[in-house]
Structures are given as structure tokens and as C-alpha cells.
Amino acid sequence: MLISTHCLGHARRSAHILLCPACLLLLSSCSADAPSTDAPTSQSRTRRAVPLSDPNQGRSGVITHDVEAAYPGVHIYTACDDRVAKLLDMSGRAVHTLTDRRTRPSGRWEMVEPYAGDEFIVLVRHRSIMRIDWQSAVRWELELPFQNDLAVADNGDIYGIILEKTVKPCFFSSPALYESLVVVSPEGEVKRRISFADILAKRPKLVALVRSEETRAAAEDTLFPGVRDPLHTNTIEIIPRDVIIAGRTLFRKGNVLFCMRNIDLIGVVDIEREQLVWEWGPGILVRPHCATLLENGNLLIFANASEGRHSQVIEMNPHTREIEHSISGAATNAPFFSEGRGSCQRFPNGNTLIVPTDESRAIEVTPAGDVVWEFRSCPLESHPDKRIVLYRLPRLLDVEKSRHLREAVRTPTLDTVLREYGVAIGEIGGTRIDREFRRKGTNIGFHSLVATDGDVRVEMEIMAPLPADIAKRYLTAKYTIVRSQYGPQPHPYPGVITNLTDCPEDKKPVETQVEVLGQAVVVLLANASERFTFGVWEDDLIKHRGAFCVLYVPERNALFEVRIFQPHDRFDRDAVLKVLGSLRGIAAH
């Protein structure tokens, strides 16, 4: 079959959207949004998994990508391996890999945050944070029980969440797990530590909420039986600007937005005064995650269980305290639900990236609810019926901020080149271009492309602008040439009685048709040599099988000659025809 499946951690080649000439990498992911003490147990170090109970069972990586509708960017994927993060483009191709190369590395990477252009801050779950450069060299490591989230301030300070087991008598008389906000300098030194519990303790109604029976029940949901996790702070974000709505300053630059799962609380704290300045959520939300500030001053929140077995992503106005918009997990074309974890990200075009963690996938949804991009983590090798949990999949939108990243994503793909001619080829659009040649004639441009991934090779010859009458003659001639190569030919071996050999009927090209851009296109399926040339039929010379077609797109004044090769014993006819049929017109760039 033409679809190749390999987990990213074990593959020897880059990832693409690969339903055909590019092999679909099965990307893995692992993370858990649950508390721990300084020394995680063996259970907390074990990868989590969820059952494969979806219609796309067995499909992994990027399985949907609408090039026109999806918002472009690069993803930080930190669930591939214990100590690895991969930067993935929109096709799922790994453009760069970060890894702990030290002899004695730290534990599992939970998330990676861009830092200072070409560097990164890595959160090592329950162990530390460390600053690394583009080549993964560690500049420093700060050992504290960090978990769940990181944020970077304009001055380079790093904000993190640490977990500590301690006694807060205003809440419970016995030890429990509480989070603190820690501010770390660019050099890796702790500048400040603020207890979230102490801030909440100043509000009697919040003290009562934490002590309530409902919260007590939620607080028992922990990896450590008998140790409460009353708050479970899972998200922090530094407010980047003053937020003024209806003439009222709600938040000031430098305030910190946070989310607490076990008391259903979204809040904003003034860290200079260590005072809560705004709060919302109890009685409305259920186990929320990933509160983030939008450009319009509203808040975007992943509401885990607001609709029973369907989650929501809601947009609420912090001034009116009203929900202005929601994306229901029951209403989209791809329903979503995550009971305990999840994240969301809004893009400038209005689309929203949703990660229902417990389903181990990510979807990009338009304001109308259409899914235009989807990614799924890969099944566990030891348990093929389960996927590794996908914690988050943040998309970096401004790759120009990083010189190395800008250069890494500059490598063209089939789609980026074909867009020049107003077309895209959805099934193989993410395949990287290996070789490219352009030549400008007197009136016609000639463009040759070779793209490979693993054992699949795609060749294209493009001529544009090309008048229809010339295109018709060229098209006829090219089919004639390929067919003639399977007629009587000089024998390749010396010493034979005759110097001509005839191609057996079962080795001649098979002719079929596929509809492309509204026209029936003839496709020849023929054997090819080790060097990807047609016209061979001796068994010892047949190494590949290829699909050949030529089509003219009058709206673009462009002629496309397409050849797709695969090893002869692994050639997938149906998949190849599907690829050719995926060629479609788009707005020319």
C-alpha cells in the first residue's frame, strides 16, 4: 500500500502529509496534566494512552489540510519522545528537532516555549526548566518541580508553575498539593515566588469554594491517593497590554491570567500586589483549561465538560461576564471531548486550533465550524488499540522572528510551487522538493520538479504559458512516445539470435482514466527501470512501476506532465489515481 506508517521517533526521514508519494509518519505524543510531588512515582513517569475509538483509527499525523483555509504556521510537538521536541510544518514535516543530548539528561519534556529568537525554554515535567539553543545545547537548568505551563515576559523573565506539598490551614489541616507562580531571570535565577493559595485565601468566598464537598471530590483526582490537589493550576499567561473595555481598565500589562481546573476558576492576578483583580467560572465551567487573552479583549477558554460528553471552546467578555461565542464539541464536523485536559488557540483569520487531549488529536476549525486541518498522534507500539496522549500542539505564527526557523521552513513543497500556477495537489502537497530546474524560453517557461519521500518519487514537467493548440500537439506526442517504448526494441543482451525483443502483453502499459479539474485524463500505468525510465519489461530490469499522465489546464494556460514512481512490488494503483484526482484549482499566487 502506498501509505507508509512509521512513528516519528523511529523514522529515518522527514514527515509530510503523506497519503501517497510522501509517507504518512505516525507521530507520537505523550503528556499528562496531573500533579506530582518533587519525586514523581513510576506511575507518573508512564506514558498515558487513550483508546482508538474513532473513524480514522490507524491514521496518524496530518490527515486533513485545506491549504487555502488553514492558517499557516509551525507547530511545537513535544510528545514525540521523552526528551524530544519536533517543529512540524503544516504538512506534518519535521523541519527541526530539539533533544537533550547530554550524557545524563533530565526527564520527560512536557512543553517547549520559544525564547529570544532562536532559543527555547523546556519544561521538564516535575523536574526543572532549562534554556537551550537551536542546536539543543543547554545554557542552564533550574531544578524545581515545574509543571503544566510556561510564559515569557517582554524583559526575558520566565514565568512557571511549581507544585509543592504543604499545609494551608485556611483550606485543609492536612498536607495537600498547591501551586506557586515562580519568576525566573534570563540567567536562570529565581527572582520571585508567589503562592496561588495565599492569593485565594484573601477571598472568603474562594476559601469556601476550595473547602466545598464538590471541590474535595475533584481534589481527590490525583496520582497520589490520599493527597489532595485542591486547585490544579494548569495555565498561566502574561497580559501583554492594558485591557480597556467600555472605558474601564480590566487588566494591566504584566498581570497574569491563570486557570484552575479543580475549582473551575479563571482569574487575573496583580503580581506586584499579589492580589486577585478579576475572577470568573465557578458554577459555569467544569474542569477548564487554557485561558488566553484575545486581541479584542475577550478570553478564549477550553471548557472541558460543559455539555456532558462534549467539550466547548468559549469566548467570553470579561467586562460583561457573558459568553459571546462558543464552538461546541457536538456541533463541529469533528465532535470533540476531553474530560481532564485540552487547549485552544485563536488565529488572525478567525480559525481556532482545538486540542482535545483525551482524544489525542488537534483540529483547526473555521468560524462556521468546518474542520480545515487535523492532526492525530500515533498508536502505542505495545498497544496498537491506543494512541499516545497529545497534551498541546501550539502553532507558531511568525516564523520570521527566528532566523533558523525561517531558513528551515523555506524548503519548498509541491504545494508551495504549484500555487504559482493556481493549482494544488492535496494528497501529496506537503512533499518536499528535492530538485528544481527553471528555464525561460522566448515565450514559454519550463519548470522541472523532483520530489521524493522514502521509496516514492514524484516528477513534474510544467510548461506555461502555453497556447491550447501547442499543448494539444505536445500532449498527443508524449503519450505516443511512452506507448512506443513498449513496442519492439533492441535486445539489451549481446549474443542473442535476433536483436529485437517484443514486450509481452502482460508487461505493456495499462491504460485508465481519472477525472482531474473537470476533465477525463488518460493515465498510463507502466513498468520502469532503476533509473525511473519507462520502456523496460525484462524481469531483471523492472525495478519500479509508474503512473504517467499529461493534462492541460486552459484557465491557467499551463500543461502538467506528471510521473509518480514506486517500487514495483509495493505499487498502489488506487492510491496513485487518488493522488492525481486530488489536483484542484486555487487562487494563483
Report the candidate in 67, 121, 107, 35 with the shortest Cα–Cα distance to residue 394.
Answer: 121
Asked if residue 152 has pLDDT above 50, the reply is yes
Buried b / exposed e over 100-117, threshold 16 CB at 10 Å, is beeeeebbbbbbbbbbee
d(CA 396, CA 402): 10
d(CA 497, CA 355): 69
Asked if residue 121 has pLDDT above 70, the reply is yes
- How confident is the model over 306-324, as pLDDT tens digits? 555 789 999 999 999 999 9
- Model pLDDT, residue 332: 62
Report the candidate in 225, 256, 215, 258 with the shortest Cα–Cα distance to residue 239.
Answer: 256
- How confident is the model over 4-24, as pLDDT tens digits? 323 333 332 233 222 232 222
- Model pLDDT, residue 498: 54
- How confident is the model over 431-485, as pLDDT tens digits? 778 888 888 777 888 999 998 877 889 999 999 999 999 999 999 999 999 999 9
Asked if residue 497 has pLDDT above 70, the reply is no
The neighbour count for residue 241, using CB atoms within 10 Å, is: 12
Residues 6+ apart with CB under 8 A from 199: 269, 274, 275, 276
- How confident is the model over 503-518, as pLDDT tens digits? 999 999 999 999 988 8
Answer yes or no: are the C-beta atoms of 330 and 337 closer than 8 Å. no
Phi-psi group of 264: left, alpha or beta (phi > 0 → left; psi -120 to 50 → alpha; rest → beta): left
What number is the average pLDDT over the span 270-298?
95
- Provide the percentage of residues in the chain whose pLDDT is more than 90: 52
Cα 539 versus chain centre, distance: 43
- Model pLDDT, residue 587: 56
Q: Which helix (H) or strand (E) holds 196?
A: helix 196-200
What number is the average pLDDT over the span 146-165?
96
What number is the average pLDDT over the span 567-580?
91
What number is the average pLDDT over the span 234-243?
96
Asked if residue 47 has pLDDT above 60, the reply is no
- Model pLDDT, residue 34: 34
Q: How confident is the model at residue 301 (pLDDT cuts 50, 70, 90)?
A: very high
Return the C-alpha torsion angle 234, 240, 246, 247, nearest 10. Answer: 130
Handedness of CA 555, 414, 577, 375 (dihedral sign): negative
Answer yes or no: are the C-beta atoms of 581 and 469 closer than 8 Å. no
Residue, of 346 and 62, whose pLDDT is higher: 346
- How confident is the model over 23-36, as pLDDT tens digits? 222 223 333 333 33
- How confident is the model over 243-262, as pLDDT tens digits? 998 888 999 999 999 999 99
- How confident is the model over 170-228, as pLDDT tens digits? 999 999 999 999 999 999 999 999 999 999 999 999 999 999 877 776 666 566 677 88
Within 13 Å of residue 351, how many CA atoms lie on the same side as its CB? 21
- Provide the percentage of residues in the chain whose pLDDT is more than 70: 83
- How confident is the model over 56-102, as pLDDT tens digits? 555 677 888 887 899 999 999 886 457 888 898 887 877 888 988 78
List beta partners, residue 387.
50, 379
Asked if residue 122 has pLDDT above 60, the reply is yes
